[in-house]
Amino acid sequence: MTETLKITNLHVSVEGKPILRGVNLTINRGETHALMGPNGSGKSTLGNVIMGHPNYEVTEGKIELNGEDISEWDATERARAGIFMAFQRPMAIPGVKMADFLRHATTNVRNPSRKEGEELIPMRQFRKELTEKMEQLRMDTEFARRYVNDGFSGGEMKRAEILQMAMLRPKFAILDETDSGLDVDAVKLASQSIAEIGGDQMGILIITHHDKLLDQNTPDFTHVMLGGKIVETGGVELAHELYTDGYDRIRASYPEAAVAEQVMAEAV
């Protein structure tokens, strides 16, 4: 049976303000989806709410993983069930080494029923695997001894996110503007890396403004979000069109969503 992440009529508010207004999206494992849309259309909100951010309130609709409603699960449970998000702005955790953090994370995700204080993956096995993945991503092994995202450059942060994804091997991954702040070469490397670590085994949702990240990860579907809704879905050609021509055609075609975009922009 194909594993599925299914979002149905999802309405989400933050501090009482509606941001998502009825999102429908089905991602099967093995598929790549691109999510595009102007700033403030709700793309990152969708990513965060799928991951289980506590500040986002689901007011209507549901998120299902293989038929089970996970809307009430916390981020820990979702991560252990195989959902991952590469953050647009990953948080620094000073004093915590990448390797220690990743060893905990990897153990928990691979052994979802693990309780605090129980055994971690054997150090030797973990080290070996981490080193392999870092070589694959052309990262210096020194990286593992640095503190999580502390003093990382933009490019280093994004590569660290991809490294985490490589170690955690999620079923479903959201990449929230993993290409932002990267130069062309870095985007290319990131794009290749995602493909190399087995992106085709996952269900991937790539949130992006550009089409470069899509070069090596050709989307099966491209969705356009406007005013808190997915208004149009197409193939990879839609991604290229939006990158080249912008969103004027979309706004003209979906006036109701364009009005909602205005209202949401003014409410901020």
Residue 126 has, within 13 A of its CA and on its CB side, a CA count of: 20
Q: What is the DSSP letter of 84?
A: E
Task: State how far the Cα of 21 lies from the Cα of 241, in Å rounded to an integer.
Answer: 25
Query: Which residues are paired to 27 by β-bridges?
Result: 5
**Is residue 141 near another protein by the rule CB under 8 A?**
no
Segment 19 to 38, residues that bind another protein, using CB under 8 A: none
Residue entry with tokens 């549901």: 62
Query: Which residues are paired to 69 by β-bridges?
Result: 64
**Is residue 96 near another protein by the rule CB under 8 A?**
yes
Q: Is 46 exposed, middle or buried (0-12, 13-18, 19+ CB in 10 A)?
A: buried
**Is residue 95 near another protein by the rule CB under 8 A?**
yes
**Is residue 105 near another protein by the rule CB under 8 A?**
yes
Q: Which stretch binds another protein (CB under 8 A): 7-15, 26-34, 88-96, 126-134?
A: 88-96
Task: State how far the Cα of 154 lies from the Cα of 86, in Å rounded to an integer.
Answer: 13
The one among 91, 113, 142, 185 contacting another protein by CB under 8 A: 91
Main-chain dihedrals φ then ψ at residue 27, nearest 5 degrees: -120, 125
CB of 51 to another protein, least distance (A): 5
Segment 159 to 198, residues that bind another protein, using CB under 8 A: 164, 168
Beta strand spans in the chain (E): 4-14, 17-28, 32-36, 57-65, 68-69, 83-86, 93-97, 147-148, 172-176, 203-207, 221-226, 229-234
Nearer to another protein, 36 or 83 (CB): 83
**Is residue 75 near another protein by the rule CB under 8 A?**
yes
Q: Is 224 exposed, middle or buried (0-12, 13-18, 19+ CB in 10 A)?
A: buried
Q: Which stretch binds another protein (CB under 8 A): 15-23, 63-71, 90-98, 235-243?
A: 90-98
Number of residues that bind another protein (CB under 8 A): 33
CB of 170 to another protein, least distance (A): 10
Segment 147 to 166, residues that bind another protein, using CB under 8 A: 147-148, 164
**Is residue 208 near another protein by the rule CB under 8 A?**
no
Nearer to another protein, 54 or 255 (CB): 54
**Residue 160: CB partners within 8 Å, gap ≥ 6?**
90, 98, 143, 148, 149, 152
**Is residue 93 near another protein by the rule CB under 8 A?**
yes
**Is residue 104 near another protein by the rule CB under 8 A?**
yes
CB of 101 to another protein, least distance (A): 7
**Which positions touch another protein (CB under 8 A)?**
51-55, 74-76, 78-80, 84-85, 87, 90-91, 93-96, 100-101, 104-105, 108-109, 112, 116-117, 147-148, 164, 168
